[in-house]
Amino acid sequence: MIRKAALLAISALILLPSFAAAEELPYVYTDWRQFTTKDGLPNDHIFAVKVDGPRVWIGTEDGLAMLDKRTGRVQSWNEADGLPWKVVSAIAVHPETGEVWLGLFGGGLARFSGGRFDHWHQLNSGLVNDVVYGVAIENDNVWAATTAGASRYNTVTGEWSIYTEKNAPMEEIWNYGVSYNDGKVYLGVWGSGVLEFDVKTERWKDYLDPDGEMEIDLYRDDGIVHVITTGVSYVDGILWASSYFGASRYDGRNWRGYFIKDSGIPSDFINYVYGRSANEAWFCTDKGVGALVDFETNTWVKYTLDPKNKTGRAVVMRDLEVLREIDTGINIPHNYALSVDLDGPDVWIGTSKGLAWGMGGQYYTGLREESPEAPISAGGGE
């Protein structure tokens, strides 16, 4: 009798449905809206995007635009409206004055305030070059990263400072990006890695690829992955850097490199990086956008567009393992991504064929447990 009961119990266990353990997954953006010239943008080639409260400033190949998030209406300015140069390659908004500072690709530096444009260039100021790739606000100063060094303009005193190979550790002077936070300015320099400028001491520190190999990273996590740096972002004590050969993260003691061979980044050719926190960063590449959403587990969400079907896709990856593939309907209007800004739970992405707005809905940081049988919740469900 005991033996029969035991056999029945074993049979019952075999017949019970098996439930997979809950899996920790990230938030995935599935609620997107796109903006192009059809919506009022002056051009679909978006070099820069910067959120300023309800306003989204957009730098294009043919003018400046401002999108009102509340109404969806777009206002634009070109040279006929006083914009000093049509190609707007960088944007920064002063957090105290609300002044909009513009890097102009070939036209120098401009300030937009009170409906008026003011203009600085090589012939009327201390701007070292008129091809401006990046702009950042540091206290009362405005930094411009140019193709021939960096310039720092004090908006109170009118004083200019110029940094080139003569007074800064630049092996090359092609400055690609600039970022300011926590008393330090970071420059991404083509051929010179990342330069750190301590505002208080006015001392420089450089971060170079220690193995000296120009094409590949010979030794993993030994330093910045490459000296051709295209973007820098400093947040929560973490330096994020992008290059045309991969990405880097530095916590002040340890480096970590990211490549397509060992992560969910869409491509090693990276145009821009924006760090959301010490745990999350967004990378704009030539083959889509990659978000490292959980540093500890190397979990990524890759957003791409199928150019044939015009369908957006999000792929959740841990290392090289695909955890989930989600059809988002739409997401980014083109895979060549050039800029990104984060606005609370939302994300804005500029591409070569338009602007994308990913709405965060129920955004959460890091990972949460979800049953593999259930869709990812969000503004994040299939």
87-125: per-residue pLDDT in tens? 999 999 999 999 999 999 999 999 999 999 999 999 999
Q: Closest Cα to residue 261, out of 209, 197, 183, 319?
A: 319
Break the chain into its structural domains and give their ranges.
41-227
pLDDT per residue over 161-214, tens digit each?
Answer: 999 999 999 999 999 999 999 999 999 999 999 999 999 999 999 999 888 777
Return mean pLDDT, the chain: 91
Judge if pTM exceeds 0.95.
no
State the pLDDT at residue 310.
85
Task: Count Cβ atoms within 10 A of the Cβ of residue 290 and give its class: 0-12 exposed, 13-18 middle, 19 or more buried.
Answer: buried
CB atoms within 10 A of CB 307: 10
298 conformational bin, left if phi > 0, alpha if psi -120 to 50, beta if neither: left
State the pLDDT at residue 168.
97
d(CA 89, CA 294): 30
Buried-exposed string 308-319: b where 16+ CB fall within 10 A, e elsewhere:
eeeebbbbbbbe
- The three-class DSSP label of residue 253 is coil
State the pLDDT at residue 213.
74
Q: pLDDT class for 374, splitting at 50, 70, 90?
A: very low
State the pLDDT at residue 22.
61
pLDDT per residue over 232-250, tens digit each?
Answer: 999 999 999 999 999 999 9
d(CA 274, CA 294): 15
CA dihedral 358, 359, 364, 369 (to 10 degrees): -80
- Distances from the Cα of 184 to the Cαs of 209, 214, 234, 237, in angstroms? 21, 27, 9, 11
Quick check: 256 pLDDT over 80? yes
Contact at 8 Å (CB) between 88 and 103? yes
Q: pLDDT class for 217, splitting at 50, 70, 90?
A: confident
Token match 């490292």: residue? Answer: 292
Quick check: 308 pLDDT over 60? yes
Q: Closest Cα to residue 356, out of 79, 39, 8?
A: 39
Q: pLDDT class for 30, splitting at 50, 70, 90?
A: very high
Q: pLDDT class for 218, splitting at 50, 70, 90?
A: confident
d(CA 307, CA 101): 34
State the pLDDT at residue 46.
98
Helix ranges restricted to H, the chain: 2-15
Pair of tokens at residue 286: 């030539």
Residue 208 DSSP code: -
Quick check: 381 pLDDT over 90? no
The CATH architecture that domain 41-227 belongs to is 7 Propeller (2.130)
Pair of tokens at residue 55: 């306003």
pLDDT per residue over 316-338, tens digit each?
Answer: 999 999 999 999 999 999 999 99
Among positive and negative, which fits the CA dihedral 120, 123, 126, 129?
Answer: positive
Q: Closest Cα to residue 228, out of 253, 251, 207, 249?
A: 207
CA dihedral 154, 158, 163, 166 (to 10 degrees): -140
Task: Name the strand (E) or helix (H) holding 189.
Answer: strand 184-190
Quick check: 345 pLDDT over 90? yes
